[in-house]
């Protein structure tokens, strides 16, 4: 990963819509410009997080699939 997250959110073993809801809640408490790393095991998270980031005006910096987990790096823009 190219970016160093300010916070890590572990959403492994949670299914839709929990990873997105927890991500939304956590991002709302972070400062503008900070980066959140969210880790999930639900394959549906890939599409869900992309859609949410576009809709919410946040920047999805990176998505990585490794060791059965999906890692998302999201920069808070607003």
Instruction: Identify whether 69 is a catalytic site residue.
Output: no
Cβ burial 53-77 (10 Å sphere, 16+ → b, else e): beebebeebeeeeeeeebbbbbbbe
CA proximity to 35, closest of 77, 74, 78? 74
- Among residues 16, 18, 30, 56, the one annotated as catalytic is 16
Please give the positions annotated as active site: 16
């Amino acid at each position: 990963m190219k970016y160093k997250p300010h916070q890590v959110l572990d959403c492994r073993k949670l299914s839709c819509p929990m990873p997105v809801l927890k991500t939304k809640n956590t991002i709302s408490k972070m400062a503008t410009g900070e980066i959140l790393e969210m880790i999930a095991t639900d394959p549906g998270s890939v599409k869900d997080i992309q859609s949410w980031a576009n809709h919410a005006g946040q920047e999805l910096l990176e998505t990585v699939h490794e060791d059965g987990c999906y890692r998302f790096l999201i920069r808070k823009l607003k």
